Amino acid sequence: MVQKIQQTLRDSAAARWTVLVLVASMMFFAYMFVDILSPLASLLNESIGWDQGVFGTYAAGEYLLNVFGFLILAGIILDKMGVRFTGLLSASLMVLGAAIKYWGISWSEANTVEWLNAWWPSMPGSAKIAMFGFMIFGCGCEMAGTTVSKVLAKWFKGKEMALAMGLEMAIARLGVFAAMWLAPMFSSSFAVDGVNSVTAPLLFASLLLVVGLLNFFVFTIMDTKFDNQLVAIGEATAEKDPEDEFHVSDLKQILTSKMFWIIALLCVLYYSAIFPFQRFATNFLEETLNISNAEAAGLFKWFPILAMVLTPFLGAFIDYKGKGASMMLLGAIIMIACHCVFAFVLPVYPSKILALVTILILGVSFSLVPASMWPSVPKIIDEKVLGSAYCLIFWVQNIGLCLVPLLIGKLRVATEGYLVPMIVFASFGVLAFLLSLALKVEDKKKNYGLELPNKK
């Protein structure tokens, strides 16, 4: 009888993996929406006048409100209000932002009101509205990412945490593959008078976000039952102990942690060489290999595939064998090599096979670093402020993800090529490598256990 009372939903493999599917599907739809226009950059220029500078500015909009403090607020909301409230709020923000973005792009320039063109004339009216919607979506997307990390830390505590986080990342990255594959297909299928559609792929991705919201609602029902079980077995109380409650002053515990800042800076540098690159990759391959937009998107869609396949295995390896800090170091080295190939080798030898192999190898890097980075955070940060820690890391990351697309867009226009942008991406990799070394040294000194397995 005692054994029965001690069981919770977390002890049921079916229940905790169902939770993973529910929250990971929401992130799959979010990642798909983020990149649904990336393969259509040339079409956006031809049909509604978005050049590479406009596209880079629009892409930066996803992170703008997060940079100016929303993610810090999101962390406080997450630790104060819990994963259920925060997850539903973030999913709702994504749906709202997607609706505004769709409205902006589907609304032709002829219908744009005069005041919208009166300010910031270098940006088309459709881009301004779409960028505003992308800002709101970005708030929800980044908040959802941190919420999902805390959900998995909660439901897989003492179990297959790194594997679960790895699978979640793999499923989410499948959204990038889906965007690169489906966007050109929907665009051509809904062509009008021989002109491919930019709105059809966007509408489809927006509707999937609604499905993600419904999935998270199902999760909240399961999580409520789980919390009640924790109360019943004495692992939690109906009312939080004042000592266990989150206070804003607890943020000092995070901000004074040297390991936190190493991981946060490693995160921003690494992801700044990945996500902004995704936005420009299709156009880069078009110009470098002299191929069509659809063919370039077809090549790059394979980028997340090795990451998707390898990340769960790497997560399982970390759970049972460890070596998380070493994986981050190796991932940074691989990323440097790949961007150097894009910068110096591919323009001289414009081979589709070389491009595909380099893209796939970059996907290996994209599995090594995230698979080891996110499960490392609970090892250095107290669970009480874990949500805020994830949000603060995402906030630092968003500063880079906001500024780098702007920088790359401007460099692309100024230099009329991709050599300098690719050198910039490779430079981020070098800095990430140095931080990975610092992380290993600090872990060896203080014994945080980054090289140790998670499974108990």
Domain residue extents for the chain: 24-237+245-446
User: Strand, helix or coil at 448?
Assistant: coil
- Mapped onto helix, strand or coil, the DSSP state of residue 123 is coil
For residue 120, the 8-state DSSP code is S
Half-sphere exposure of 144 (CA within 13 A, CB side): 32
CB 306 within 8 A of CB 364: yes
Burial 245-272, CB ≥16 within 10 A → b, else e = ebeeeebeebeebebbbbbbbbbbbbbb
Q: For residue 201, what is the enclosing H or E element? A: helix 199-232
Integer Cα distance of 138 and 93 in angstroms:
8
- At residue 2, the pLDDT reads 43
Q: Alpha-carbon distance 291 to 289, whole Å?
A: 6
Q: What is the Cβ-side half-sphere exposure of residue 367, based on CA atoms within 13 angstroms?
A: 28
Residue 137: its pLDDT value, please? Answer: 96
Cα 440 to Cα 434: distance, rounded to the nearest angstrom: 10
* Integer angstrom CA distances of residue 418 from 48, 202, 285, 425: 23, 27, 10, 11
In sign, the C-alpha dihedral spanning 392, 397, 403, 406 is negative
Instruction: Spell out the residues 6+ positions from residue 423 whose beta carbon is closer than 8 angstroms to its own.
Output: 339, 343
Distance, C-alpha 404 to centroid of its chain: 15
pLDDT of residue 5: 47
- pLDDT in the model for residue 1: 38
Query: Which residues make Cβ contacts (< 8 Å) with residue 136, sequence separation at least 6?
Result: 65, 93, 96, 97, 100
The DSSP annotation for 140-181 comes to HHHHHHHHHHHHHHHHTTTSSHHHHHHHHHHHHHHHHHHHHH
Secondary structure of 282-346 in HEC code, one letter for each residue? HHHHHHHHCCCHHHHHHHHCCHHHHHHHHHHHHHHHHHHCCCHHHHHHHHHHHHHHHHHHHHHHC
Could you tell me if 61 and 403 are in contact, meaning their C-beta atoms sit under 8 angstroms apart? no
Full-model pTM: 0.76
**DSSP state, residue 375:** G
Residues 305 and 434 sit within 8 Å (Cβ to Cβ)? no
C-alpha pair distances (Å), 174 with each of 84, 180, 320, 434: 25, 10, 25, 30
CATH number for the domain running over 24-237+245-446: 1.20.1250.20
What is the distance between the alpha carbons of residues 201 and 35, in angstroms, rounded to a whole number?
11
396 Cα distance to chain centroid: 13
Choose among 361, 338, 367, 332: nearest CA to 438: 332
Average pLDDT across each block of 10 residues of the chain; the chain has 456 residues. List them in order: 62 91 96 90 82 83 85 85 93 96 75 63 83 94 91 86 84 86 89 84 95 96 90 66 57 86 93 89 92 86 79 84 90 96 96 95 89 85 80 84 85 89 96 95 90 78
Residue found under tokens 């993800």: 401
Using CA atoms, how far apart are residues 129 and 426, in angstroms rounded to an integer?
33
Nearest to 421, CA basis, from 271, 297, 281: 281
Only one residue has tokens 């990149």, namely 35
439-447: list long-range contacts, CB under 8 Å, 24+ apart. Answer: 439/259, 439/262, 439/263, 439/266, 439/325, 439/328, 439/329, 440/325, 440/326, 440/329, 442/258, 442/259, 442/262, 443/259, 443/325, 446/259
How far CA 324 is from CA of 80, 312, 372, 379, 453, in Å, comes to 30, 13, 5, 11, 8
Residues 6+ apart with CB under 8 A from 421: 280, 408, 411, 412, 415
- Whether 3 contacts 233, CB under 8 Å: no
